[in-house]
Structure 1
Amino acid sequence: MKFGTSLVVLGLIATVFAQCVISEQEALMNLYTALGGDFWTDNSGWNTGDVCTWYGIGCNLDGYVTDIRLPANNLTGELTSDIGCFPYLKSLQLNENEISGPVPDAIGFLTNLKYLNLDNNRLSGPLPVALCNDEYLQYIYLGHNLFEGEIPACYVTSFTFVKEIHLDCNLLTGDLLDFSGYEYMFELRSRCNNFNVECPAWIETSDILVICTGSCEDCPIPDTQCPEFIEVEDCGLYYPLTQNNTST
């Protein structure tokens, strides 16, 4: 990680640490409220008894939360900074829901996190730079969202043990950075974004399986654009539906 980026990330983490003075139970209940917990498909046990018995929550022998697994459970709303209040968390699975808004900087306080799955939500804004502080991440799934902007430079240097990264079906721009320096990485999904070049030259000599092209029919498009936009066959861009690109 570059020095400048390191300072930014450390500053963000220090802020989170100063704010995270509540118990894990309180943090979970704050997330429950923010993500519409009363309407979840399954909220068994929540707000009653030991948090380790709540649906989707796993703990270690000392009672600290190590797993939050709530995929396809009708979570709606935005993540709050409470997500950073689980220092022993190893797995965070919130995929296949309707979570919207940006990923809080507090995500960078999960320094023991190995598995992150936020696929198939409505998350927006830039890819979280603070994630680069979670150096033990092995699986990073951020695909099928509405993230925009460029890939942070620290994404190609910070995750020593990373194996898979999914960035497909977003609104990312700029260059598809070179991930080939990762020793253990075997898959990168990048299709269906707005990169300058869909499949850059570094892919040709890399051992990583890079899925950089393919159909975009399963990708989300912002609701406000759906009536106006059509998909380009090469999967690279979304263009306004105008007379210029609808001629027969």
Structure 2
Amino acid sequence: MVPVVSEERWDGVVVTQSNFLALQAFKQELVDPKGFLRSWNDSGYGACSGAWVGIKCAQGQFIVIQLPWKGLKGHITKRICQLRGLIKLSLHDNQIGGSIPSALGLLLNLRGVHLFNNKFTGTIPPSLGSFPLLQSLDLNNNL
């Protein structure tokens, strides 16, 4: 568990350290010129209170990353596979590039992946076809 208390609202839910570190790694690989990710502070407290832009949690696990139209650049880290509880990844209408990490295929709870209107390159990893619960996959309008 992450033991640091911040001044932000705290909902009483503490995210696991592995989830917190994976989300911080995700953040480090993104360029955020408009400062939307500043709310993702250096403590796990408040992460599930709604204070972290684009993040939803359940039982101490990050289940949704939803950051469309934020002007984000950079790429998606392979460490995203550590967010085992992730159900939805919505990063559409940004400028995120690089390849789509095959590590996404390890997230067996994913139901929605929306990466359209970005700058992803390369081929679609075969692992994306292994989601047993996938309902929506949109990779349109990339490079």
Deviations 1:104-159 (A, max 9, x none): 1111011001111000000010011111121211011100001xxxxxxxxxxxxx
The structure with the larger Rg is 1
Runs of 5+ consecutive residues of structure 2 not aligned to the other structure: 1-16
- State how far apart, in whole Å, the 2-side matches of 1:45 and 1:122 are: 25
CA contact (8 A) 1:69 1:91 kept: yes
Q: Which has the higher contact order (CA 8 A, sep 6+)?
A: 2
Deviations 1:7-45 (A, max 9, x none): xxxxxxxxxxxxxxx7111111111111114x2452242
- What residue is the counterpart of 2:52 in the other structure? 54
- State how far apart, in whole Å, the 2-side matches of 1:97 and 1:130 are: 23
Question: Aligned with 2:37: secondary structure?
Answer: coil
Deviations 1:64-92 (A, max 9, x none): 01000011112111211012111111110
Aligned 1:1-248 pairs, distance under 5 A: 23-37=18-32, 39-49=33-43, 50=45, 51-52=47-48, 53-60=51-58, 62-146=59-143
- State how far apart, in whole Å, the 2-side matches of 1:86 and 1:33 are: 15
- What residue is the counterpart of 2:11 in the other structure? none
The one-letter code sitting in structure 1 at the alignment partner of 2:99 is P
When the two chains are superposed, the root-mean-square deviation of aligned CA atoms in Å is 1.5
TM-score (ref. length: structure 1): 0.47
Moved segments of 4+, more than 4 Å: none
- State how far apart, in whole Å, the 2-side matches of 1:130 and 1:143 are: 18
- State how far apart, in whole Å, the 1-side matches of 2:56 and 2:83 are: 12
CA contact (8 A) 1:100 1:121 kept: yes
Runs of 5+ consecutive residues of structure 1 not aligned to the other structure: 1-21, 147-248
Question: Aligned with 1:132: secondary structure?
Answer: helix
CA contact (8 A) 1:74 1:98 kept: yes
**Once the two structures are aligned, what percentage of the paired residues are identical?**
34
- State how far apart, in whole Å, the 2-side matches of 1:40 and 1:86 are: 25
Q: How many aligned residue pairs are there?
A: 123
TM-score (ref. length: structure 2): 0.80
